[in-house]
Amino acid sequence: METTTNVDPKKMEAFLGHVVEDFGAALGVTLGFIGDKLGLYKSMAFAGPLSSEEVADRSGTTERYVREWLINQAAGGYVIYDETIGKYILPDEHAIALTDENSPFHVAGGFQVINAMGKADERIMENFLTGNGMKWGEHHHNLFEGTERFFRPSYLGNLLEQWLPSITAIVKRLESGIRVADLGCGHGASTLIMAEAFPNSEFIGFDNHGPSIEKANKAAANARLKNVSFKVSGANDFNGQKYDFITFFDCLHDMGDPINVLEHCHTMLMLDGAIMAVEPMAGRKTEENFNPVGRVYSGASVLCCTPNALASGGYALGTVATDGELEKVAKAAKFNNFRRATETPFNRVFEIKL
């Protein structure tokens, strides 16, 4: 291929600069993951100015590695360098986002998710050529823990105050006492939040990944919650008595046969019941995803969500499925009522009813 000489130098320089920024961002995610796992951020949180020696000493790491790690973090805007004293500061706002697991602003789980997905690059490249898939359980183990850590803050910040109140009359029913199935529950973060908030209702979390269910049951036992349990089961064959409320948290788009899943929900749902499907934010049109959030979610779709759907049934909604595509699936499963009930910058919440 010949290189054209009709090139605008300013546009070329701008694009190359953009690519270099992406190189730095990619390296920053890996170093952010290291900082999270080794406690480097926690060692700096609310501690005031620290030298590389002090950060290393407080975190139990080696100063020679910490030295350039801090330079990288300062270049990325994560920490501030005070050149008058030659020390680094982790601003309080950054410390909360990077170290407080119970804050709705916590983001460090995202480093873990992206790091885990990146380890599947060779398998995903092969899938591009073959059209095959890759199930969640085949990914690096960090994907499961990281996903809980990434989504749980959003659930803490939005589930009780915004998402559930957007579903018609469901809060009053939860307060009175109903049966709830939380499908694709993973480690059970969403299930446990609801169970603690509504002690009169019964919650059962289902997931086809055994180790995740084992961890969810341990978390329920530690929380001493008597109204919640977890079972290994797919979303298309969970059982029990009929349910008044069925929930999907960031997982319907991962499922390889979402129509069959919703058809099964149809049989398991009380006539006056409702489904709440929390899905990643996406545009109603393709071009509405050309933004930072769309960039993250479309990337996750390629590396994780779409491969899982292709491996487990072949109907790949993907992470940035439009409202229309999701409604089409619901209507195919004989649900006549479908609406976007509410949204946040990172999620859409849908109400699905008979």
List pLDDT tens digits, range 227-239.
999 999 999 999 9
Q: How far apart are CA 273 and CA 243, in angstroms?
A: 7
Length of the chain measured in residues: 354
pLDDT of residue 178: 98
Residue at 161: amino acid letter: E
Which residues of the chain carry a pLDDT beneath 50?
Answer: none
CB atoms under 10 Å from CB of 100, counted, come to 15
Residue at 28: amino acid letter: G
Which backbone phi and psi does 204 adopt, to 5 degrees? -125, 120
Tokens coding 160: 């009780």
Q: Looking at residue 202, what DSSP letter applies?
A: E
Q: How far apart are CA 195 and CA 204, in angstroms?
A: 9
Which residue, 56, 42, 62, is CA-closest to 87?
Answer: 56
**In which region does residue 282 sit, left (phi positive, over 0), alpha (psi from -120 to 50) or beta (all else)?**
beta
Q: Which helix (H) or strand (E) holds 165?
A: none
What are the chain's domains?
A: 9-99 (1.10.10.10), 157-353 (3.40.50.150)
Q: Looking at residue 50, what DSSP letter applies?
A: B
CA atoms in the 13 A half-sphere facing the CB of 190:
29
Q: Which residues contact 339 (CB under 8 A, 6 or more apart)?
A: 350, 351
Q: How far apart are CA 235 and CA 206, in angstroms?
A: 7
* C-alpha pair distances (Å), 75 with each of 48, 283, 299: 19, 32, 24
* DSSP character string of 302-343: IIIIHHHHHHHTS----TT--HHHHHHHHHHTT--EEEEEEE
The SS3 call for residue 270 is strand
Q: How far apart are CA 207 and CA 195, in angstroms?
A: 17
Tokens coding 321: 């499925």
Tokens coding 98: 């990077």
Q: Pairing mode, if any, of strands 228-232 and 202-207? A: parallel
* C-alpha pair distances (Å), 113 with each of 30, 96, 107: 11, 19, 11
Please answer whether residues 145 and 220 qualify as being in contact, where contact means their C-beta atoms are separated by less than 8 angstroms: no
Helices (H), the chain: 9-37, 40-44, 52-59, 63-75, 92-99, 109-118, 121-130, 142-158, 170-176, 189-197, 210-223, 258-268, 292-300, 306-312, 323-332
